[in-house]
């Protein structure tokens, strides 16, 4: 989103897309990546192949709709592997992506300024997961069904991402101060043996990547 907002036409440098670990594993160079992205009906690649953008711009309403379909889960079970979490959260609806994030140690490098990192900071001190559902109804159902009300101290806690940000993610000027569409994260396939992105996250611009890195394999 940082690159999209900086470019007048909403383009992102191809080098940024090529820097993702999963992309590196799939293609050997930017020209190959550009050729692959040109087959997409949702993307436009520049003539020189050095930039790519969405056909339909990503709007504030798109962001709000996305956030309304994402839940934040805390107090995860001891067995919080991708397969087990998928089993738990898909019991109430269709899950698109899951990103498990481990506690982060502050590096003391100064204030966090980008939106994605600020979102990380809301939950950085504990194990948690971002789960994106296909529909808003599924996400709301997850809140009702999966919350362990009998064990409020250590039982599974599930909240809508929107409600979390309403409490701690607004800046002094109002409006959204955090979003999940940063580097990413928005949906590359997450196979069971793919450990680096389904189970870990660093406090960076990439929190948004879960939308594209932690899918259930349709990519």
Q: Please give the order of strands across the beta sheet that includes 12-13.
A: 12-13, 51-54, 43-45
Structure tokens at 106: 């502050």
Q: What is the pTM assigned to this prediction?
A: 0.60
Domain that holds residue 113: 62-166
pLDDT in tens, 13-70: 999 999 988 899 998 888 899 999 999 999 999 999 999 999 998 888 888 999 999 9
Residues 105 and 31 in one domain: no
Structure tokens at 100: 């498990």
pLDDT in tens, 126-172: 889 999 999 999 999 999 999 887 887 788 999 998 887 776 544 33
Structure tokens at 219: 């990519």
164 or 117, which is more confident: 164
Residues 75 and 39 in one domain: no
Dihedrals phi, psi of 153, to nearest 5 degrees: -80, -45
- Contact between 79 and 61 under an 8 Å Cβ cutoff? The reply is no
**Residue 109: Cβ-neighbour burial (10 angstroms; 0-12, 13-18, 19+):** exposed
Structure tokens at 146: 């999966």
Buried b (16+ CB within 10 A) or exposed e, 74-84: bbbeeebebee
Query: Would you say residue 151 lies in a domain?
Result: yes
- Contact between 140 and 131 under an 8 Å Cβ cutoff? The reply is no
Query: Would you say residue 195 lies in a domain?
Result: no
Query: Would you say residue 179 lies in a domain?
Result: no
Rg (CA), the chain: 17
Query: Would you say residue 104 lies in a domain?
Result: yes
Number of domains forming the structure of the chain: 2
């Amino acid at each position: 989103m940082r690159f999209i907002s900086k470019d007048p036409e909403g383009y992102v440098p191809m080098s940024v897309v090529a820097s993702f670990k999963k992309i590196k594993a799939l293609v050997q160079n930017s020209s190959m990546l550009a050729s692959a992205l040109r087959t997409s009906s949702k993307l436009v690649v520049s003539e020189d192949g050095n930039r790519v953008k969405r056909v339909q711009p990503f709007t504030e309403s798109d962001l709000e709709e996305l956030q309304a379909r994402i839940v934040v889960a805390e107090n995860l079970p001891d067995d919080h592997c991708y397969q087990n979490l998928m089993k738990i959260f898909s019991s109430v609806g269709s899950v698109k992506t899951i990103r498990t994030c481990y506690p982060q140690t502050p590096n003391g490098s100064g204030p966090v300024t980008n939106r994605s990192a600020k979102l990380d900071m809301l939950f950085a001190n504990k194990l948690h997961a971002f789960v994106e559902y296909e529909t808003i109804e599924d996400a709301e159902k997850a809140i009702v069904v999966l919350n362990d009300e009998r064990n409020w101290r250590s039982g599974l806690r599930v909240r809508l991402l929107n409600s979390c940000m309403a409490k701690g993610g607004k800046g002094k000027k109002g409006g959204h101060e955090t979003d999940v569409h940063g580097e990413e994260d928005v949906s590359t396939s997450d196979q069971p043996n793919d450990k680096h992105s389904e189970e870990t996250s660093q406090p960076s611009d990439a929190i948004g990547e879960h939308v594209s890195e932690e899918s259930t394999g349709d990519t």
